[in-house]
Amino acid sequence: MAAKKVLIVYAHQSSGSFNAAAKDAAMEVLAGQDCTIEESDLYAMKFKATATAEDITGDVKNADHFCYAEETKLAWEEGKLSTDITEEQRKLTQADLVIFQFPMYWFTVPAIMKGWIDRVLTLGYAYSQEKRYSQGVFKDKKAMLSFTTGSSESMFSANGINGDMNVTLWPLQNGILHYCGFQVLAPQIFWAPAYAPSEVRSTMLEGWRKRLQGLLSEKPLSFTPLDCFDGEKGYQLKPEIHEKQSTKEHGLTVGIHLGKALPPNSQMKAGV
């Protein structure tokens, strides 16, 4: 296997955290497979989370009615994005695999990581009307979420108080990663390590290290391809695809469920 380049986008304030241990394990194991690793330690970098006109050097096109997406697209085309954004885009452009390592905050990523997503994945660079989902800019790259939770696995089940984790993951994995074209690998979820005994935390990390040995050859999660939707009719599922699914027990995906039962673990395991 040819040497791969890996970018780890990491968001935790403490070098003694479980997230830091998970990140370090990824760096060590992947480097042992001749991967080149780059790390974006967002807190250490003091990465700016807010998407503002400061992200553009020089004048903006329309200061009176500032539209961040359009202005940053123009700035990207003209080489006028701020240096912190262009440096992250350089890392991302070179990466074959991106791992987002973080503690889940309020059912999503921490604000500083959401800021990285908002600012780095600019219109034009990371997506466009023509290049998104299965035809996305990053369709030759892989990406995955690796994160800790504050609640147990049972609380994130289909009948648990937090709801089905597959539903929680849909906006992140479909609405961000797959939207930009990434092949999305199944997430690595560390269930409530803060409440686990040290031996259980060690087992969690060992399982992650074992998975990392074969991570680069894993099959990605399944998403419905863009050409299954009719762009002239508001990107609705084409009738022939809808008809084909009519006799099946489950919907296509968590989001495109066709009013049927959600496919089990479709956002957590490949090939289901």
**Domain ranges within the chain, ordered by starting residue:** 5-218, 222-272
Q: Check pLDDT > 70 for residue 271.
A: no
pLDDT of 2 over the 90 cut: no
CB 226 within 8 A of CB 128: no
pLDDT tens digits, residue range 21-58?
A: 999 999 999 999 999 999 999 999 999 999 999 999 99
CATH superfamily of 5-218: Flavodoxin domain (3.40.50.360)
Q: What is the dihedral of CA 110, 36, 119, 172, to 10 degrees?
A: -50
The CA distance from 194 to 124, in Å, is: 40
Tell me the mean pLDDT in the region 237-258.
Answer: 92
Averaged pLDDT, 135-149: 97
Tallying the residues shown for the chain, one arrives at 272
Average pLDDT on 2-11 reads: 91
On the question of pLDDT at 246 being above 90, the answer is no
The C-alpha atoms of residue 88 and residue 9 are separated, in whole angstroms, by: 10
212-242 tens-digit pLDDT: 999 999 999 999 999 999 989 999 999 999 9
pTM: 0.96
Q: Can you point out the beta strands (E) in the chain?
A: 5-10, 36-41, 97-103, 142-148, 183-184, 188-190, 229-230, 236-237
Tell whether the model's pLDDT for residue 139 goes beyond 90: yes
